Amino acid sequence: MDSEFTSLQQQHTWSLVYKVKRNSDGSIARFKARLVAKGYLQQYGLDYAETFSPVVKPTTLDVSNAFLHGVLQNEVYMSQPPGYKDISKPHHVVYLLLYVDDIIITGSDKVLVVDIITQLRVSFALKDLGPLHYFLGLQIEYSGDGIFVHQSKYAKDLLSRFHMMDCKPCSNPCASSQSSALAVSPLLSDPTTYRSLVGALQYLTFTRPDLCYAVQKVCQFMSKPSQLHLVAAKWILRYLMGTLHKGIYFWPGSLTLSAYCDADWAGDPINKRSITGMIVFLGNSPITWSAKKQAVVSRSSTEAEYKSLAHTTAELYWLRMLLKDLGVYLHHPPILWCDNFSSLALASNPIFHARAKHIEVDYHFVREKVLNRDMVIKYISTLDQLADIFTKGLPSPWFHALSYKLMGTPPLRLRGDVKNDGESVNRDIKQSTNDL
């Protein structure tokens, strides 16, 4: 172990690299130092600054292993490993220090928030940056009665990084030619660029539900991407070029949960697996959405739709428990909107038919939630099904109609009256939501 550690130092495996952290407008916020592992896939001055988050729950921006931060109930004893004890300090152990940066503190009581910050300052060195405007690549803008969250700077940086700032914008993130499952083409000699691009696009879906289906499509070819796959990923950048300022608007409203779910049966032409799409609203504000290929092949459209129903039911149940932990109690059960009559019949009919026995687990799960009034399932016309945008590539007119109902644009300060612009945005988004 001594030999290996000495070798690591001799070969300069670790190096200190300084990173410039910038504000949303591009100005320098501060200089940071970080330790990075030297590797053949990283180049100094090019991608040393790249960091990746492992598994993230977009609904809360929470790492899945957060439960590891719980309070230990038992004493934990540590000692130096046998055969490698420091003779001069035999009773010392190794400490792992976790540095947490960029914390959001919010609440309805301003006095309490100030008190918490004051208490934290007793033990930690804090820099109060004031009202939230930029956090982990998310930009936050405030207007009359709402909050607009977008990633315009992140999107511009992404276009610049992949040399697409001068590209011609397109009207749809999915090219019509992609319907043939991105036909076979020569594999990329070096898939690094493709993987980096697709990974960066995934982070954009936090505020861009309109990108969700197209991004999950290109994510399926990370292991062996071809030239056509790279073209498809850059097509998303072309769409992004023309929609840089889109994002999600949040405004106060009723504390009710509602969701839309849909499925495209055998939507993947390669392995005939179905695509599940869903979106959840808290009041009139969308809070989580997804487009995901189902794990197994569905034998009927009813099975595919019911799997989508079960997936969304689990998400609604989790969100309801999360709100309860936060002290928010829903006075009415969540409503789940579905456009498939067969799935609705299965969820409501206490008689379990033999022809649907292969989806029995999902059936019992959903039925239990319905019987316990944990949720209500209702029918919605396919024309009003918002989740349709997450299950397939849509023609541009229909794609834009659904996108308009889910998203908004920021109040533009350069167009004169900020207040009027913000109110106009609010009216447009609220009207689109009321039209559902």
Q: What is the pLDDT of residues 58-116, one digit of tens each?
A: 665 544 334 344 555 555 556 666 666 777 777 776 744 445 567 888 888 889 888 98
Q: Is residue 371 part of a domain?
A: yes
Per-residue pLDDT tens for 194-235? 999 999 999 999 999 999 999 999 999 998 999 999 999 999
Average pLDDT of the residues in 351-363: 61
CB 248 within 8 A of CB 324: no
Please tell me whether the overall predicted TM-score, pTM, comes out greater than 0.85 for this model: no
Beta bridge partners of 57: 62
pLDDT value of position 421: 35
pLDDT value of position 36: 46
Residues 6+ apart with CB under 8 A from 68: none
Read off the amino acid at residue 333: P
Domain limits at 263?
A: 251-387
Q: Is residue 6 part of a domain?
A: no
- Cα–Cα distance, 305 to 340 (Å, whole number): 7
Task: Place 420 in a pLDDT band, splitting at 50, 70 and 90.
Answer: very low
Average pLDDT, the chain: 79
pLDDT score of 15 more than 70: no
- Cα–Cα distance, 195 to 352 (Å, whole number): 45
Average pLDDT of the residues in 137-141: 91
Task: Place 268 in a pLDDT band, splitting at 50, 70 and 90.
Answer: confident
Per-residue pLDDT tens for 363-394? 778 888 888 888 999 999 998 999 999 999 99
pLDDT value of position 139: 93
Residue 63 gets which letter from DSSP? E
- Cα–Cα distance, 338 to 420 (Å, whole number): 37
Q: Quote the number of domains for the chain.
A: 1
Average pLDDT of the residues in 345-368: 69
Strands 335-338 and 376-379: parallel
pLDDT score of 312 more than 90: yes
Residues 6+ apart with CB under 8 A from 202: 215, 219
Q: Is residue 350 part of a domain?
A: yes
Task: Return the CATH number at 339.
Answer: 3.30.420.10
pLDDT value of position 418: 32
The structure tokens 């820099």 sit at 127
Q: Is residue 260 part of a domain?
A: yes
pLDDT score of 127 more than 70: yes
Phi, psi at residue 370, to the nearest 5°?
Answer: -70, -45
**More confident position, 366 or 9:** 366
pLDDT score of 433 more than 90: no
pLDDT value of position 343: 86
Average pLDDT of the residues in 290-298: 92
Q: Is residue 308 part of a domain?
A: yes
Say what percent of the chain tops pLDDT 70: 72
Q: Is residue 348 part of a domain?
A: yes
Q: Is residue 215 part of a domain?
A: no
pLDDT value of position 149: 94
